[in-house]
A and B are shown apart, each in its own frame.
Chain A
């Protein structure tokens, strides 16, 4: 099953829509709450990341009987130093974003913690693609 969501940069009021929708689906197919939680937390972080840093982005979700694969593809500034960005507490978020309570530098590391597999490709000034996979059983 496939789902698709669009996100626009800066619109935090809509961050969480994809994760809520995916959560609903996973509950309906009887995935264990613990696993749902990991998926949802990782996806919500991803949504917030796109809102905070990119201009716009798309989320593509694919669910089959064994796993959920989520691609988050954005057009944005890209990540210069991926290793740095993965560290807890490292953040390039603007003051405006921090004022809204985001930008603590936990995004990517929290995603990695909650995903079973995660890969990240990024080109500076073009955008970033994050793929997360979680197994449902």
Chain B
């Protein structure tokens, strides 16, 4: 039996949601419906990619995070931050200043995630040699792992069973501190995340039982705190440029082609969730073959386009590239090395994750015969639905409505065009039709309301 519970980081704020169709129509896995005037997420379909959050005009999609004060539950508080955090700020601010500000905020240590990538740069080619599955699909992006689980189950075996840089870095840092004599239970490692999927992955890890990370702080929260401090000139005590303690390659790991460039053989890099779905579809059919390694990330421009990033993704890419080229120059004259290799043998023993298990969301029924009946019913319903895919029924398209009807989650009269048609032929009363609309879009939804978005008395927030 597949586990039924999956942690999700994306939640709808019912007070802010006014029930439009933006999130529903962009959701790549068709996980969203509108009921009673509010968006509703089918949890088994959600992959935490965050497309809905980007599309929401009302800021009603929230990303769960640990309250910042929870860091103080630990004596030693580690901020584990991704390089894209440093790419949020103008290049005149060095990564060392950003780390210093995090210490001012209450952390006792700050460590950059991409240190872990230097380890993977060595290990991935070795893994490729021993893997029986080709191509190897990177385990880097947690939204993509979930996408494969729910929509491309036959590719689940191809997901690399090596931990992503963030978990490698967390594991290293914990061991590093324990070796210095600190107590394990007094160390709290907090990941500053640019994405919702990583939060979900930390709260319910795929392919492993526990995580070395204790909590997650959203990047948009930290960004505000850091930017304020930088603006107030509070980072002056650490003007020096950051030292190249990792390779320029590791620093660029989270950017598109950061990883694929170092894999063995023919490797390819894909970003964007829709691009990813197209590609995986073709890969599954073996229309695309003869590839050794696939780096695949849900966000456009990979982590630089993370949904919790504040800054323009292209500027973030530019800044990180500038920083990487500075590292390239600085490394020649410096003796700094990546500390992660102090624990290389420990990491080698602890860098594996279990196989990623499929959990298909597509099946209409566990039982094949019943599923077949349901599918035939769906196809029959599609004879009646108009194929306009307007979303007015509260489902993203006619096909989704038909499937919902078959699963007893919706009714044919939810379709406003069919309502009209049925009323014309005297098969549906105006009253019932109106009730259906209120059931989907909320009571009094069709009443005049001048506070609505774009209306004359709109309050902007």
Residue numbers of A with Cβ under 8 A of B are: 1, 16, 19-20, 23-25, 27-31, 33-34, 36-37, 40-41, 44, 63-65, 136-137
B261, CB-defined interface residue at 8 Å? no
CA distance A16 to B371 in the complex (A): 24
The smallest C-beta distance from A51 to any residue of chain B, in angstroms, reads: 12
Residues on the A chain within 8 Å of B360, using CB: 27, 30, 33
Q: Is the CB of B368 within 8 A of A16?
A: no
B330, CB-defined interface residue at 8 Å? no
Contact A37 B154, CB 8 Å, known A16-B285, A29-B372: yes
The smallest C-beta distance from B158 to any residue of chain A, in angstroms, reads: 11
The smallest C-beta distance from B388 to any residue of chain A, in angstroms, reads: 21
Q: Is the CB of A29 within 8 A of B285?
A: no
CA distance A19 to B287 in the complex (A): 10
Residues on the B chain within 8 Å of A44, using CB: 285-287
CA distance A64 to B360 in the complex (A): 21
Q: Is the CB of A1 within 8 A of B379?
A: yes
Select which of B284, B364, B366 is within 8 A of A28 by beta carbon. Answer: B364
Q: Is the CB of B371 within 8 A of A29?
A: yes
B153, CB-defined interface residue at 8 Å? yes
Residues on the B chain within 8 Å of A30, using CB: 360, 363-368, 371
Query: For A16, A20, A27, which residue has the most chain B Cβ atoms within 10 angstroms?
Result: A27
21 pairs, CB–CB < 8 Å, chain A vs chain B: A1-B379, A16-B285, A16-B287, A19-B285, A23-B285, A25-B375, A27-B360, A28-B362, A28-B363, A28-B375, A29-B363, A30-B364, A30-B367, A33-B153, A33-B154, A33-B358, A33-B360, A40-B286, A44-B286, A44-B287, A65-B372
Select which of A29, A31, A37 is within 8 A of B284 by beta carbon. Answer: A37
Q: Is the CB of B285 within 8 A of A1?
A: no
Residues on the A chain within 8 Å of B376, using CB: 1
Select which of B284, B366, B369 is within 8 A of A23 by beta carbon. Answer: B284
CA distance A34 to B360 in the complex (A): 13
CA distance A20 to B287 in the complex (A): 10
**Majority SS at the chain B contact face:** helix
The smallest C-beta distance from A13 to any residue of chain B, in angstroms, reads: 11
Contact A136 B284, CB 8 Å, known A25-B375, A29-B363, A33-B358: no
Interface residues of B in 346-388 (CB under 8 A from A): 358, 360, 362-369, 371-372, 375-376, 379
B282, CB-defined interface residue at 8 Å? yes
The smallest C-beta distance from A4 to any residue of chain B, in angstroms, reads: 13
Q: Is the CB of B285 within 8 A of A40?
A: yes
The smallest C-beta distance from A22 to any residue of chain B, in angstroms, reads: 10
The smallest C-beta distance from A57 to any residue of chain B, in angstroms, reads: 18
Q: Nearest A residue to B363 by beta-carbon distance?
A: A30
* Sample of 18 more A-B contacts, CB < 8 Å, known A16-B285, A27-B363, A33-B360: A16-B287, A19-B285, A23-B285, A27-B153, A27-B360, A28-B371, A29-B364, A30-B360, A30-B364, A30-B365, A30-B371, A36-B154, A40-B284, A40-B285, A41-B285, A44-B285, A65-B369, A137-B368
The smallest C-beta distance from B117 to any residue of chain A, in angstroms, reads: 31
The smallest C-beta distance from B168 to any residue of chain A, in angstroms, reads: 29
Q: Is the CB of B375 within 8 A of A1?
A: yes
Select which of B282, B285, B372 is within 8 A of A64 by beta carbon. Answer: B372
5 closest Cβ pairs, A-B complex = A33-B154, A30-B363, A29-B371, A27-B362, A65-B369
B281, CB-defined interface residue at 8 Å? yes
Residues on the A chain within 8 Å of B369, using CB: 65
Residues on the A chain within 8 Å of B364, using CB: 28-30
Residues on the B chain within 8 Å of A65, using CB: 368-369, 372
Interface residues of B in 234-288 (CB under 8 A from A): 281-282, 284-287
Q: Is the CB of B372 within 8 A of A1?
A: yes
Residues on the A chain within 8 Å of B375, using CB: 1, 25, 28-29
CA distance A136 to B363 in the complex (A): 14
CA distance A53 to B26 in the complex (A): 40
Residues on the B chain within 8 Å of A34, using CB: 154
CA distance A24 to B362 in the complex (A): 8
Interface residues of B in 293-307 (CB under 8 A from A): none
Residues on the A chain within 8 Å of B156, using CB: 33
Q: Nearest A residue to B376 by beta-carbon distance?
A: A1
CA distance A1 to B372 in the complex (A): 8
Residues on the A chain within 8 Å of B153, using CB: 27, 33
Residues on the A chain within 8 Å of B358, using CB: 33
Residues on the B chain within 8 Å of A24, using CB: 362
Query: For A30, A44, A64, A137, which residue has the most chain B Cβ atoms within 10 angstroms?
Result: A30
Query: For A29, A31, A40, A63, which residue has the most chain B Cβ atoms within 10 angstroms?
Result: A29
Q: Is the CB of A63 within 8 A of B372?
A: yes
Q: Is the CB of A16 within 8 A of B154?
A: no
The smallest C-beta distance from B135 to any residue of chain A, in angstroms, reads: 14
CA distance A93 to B363 in the complex (A): 39
CA distance A65 to B375 in the complex (A): 12
The smallest C-beta distance from B16 to any residue of chain A, in angstroms, reads: 35
CA distance A20 to B375 in the complex (A): 16
The smallest C-beta distance from B361 to any residue of chain A, in angstroms, reads: 9
Residues on the B chain within 8 Å of A64, using CB: 372
Residues on the B chain within 8 Å of A27, using CB: 153, 360, 362-363
Q: Nearest A residue to B154 by beta-carbon distance?
A: A33
CA distance A1 to B378 in the complex (A): 12
The smallest C-beta distance from A111 to any residue of chain B, in angstroms, reads: 12
The smallest C-beta distance from A21 to any residue of chain B, in angstroms, reads: 11
Residues on the A chain within 8 Å of B367, using CB: 30
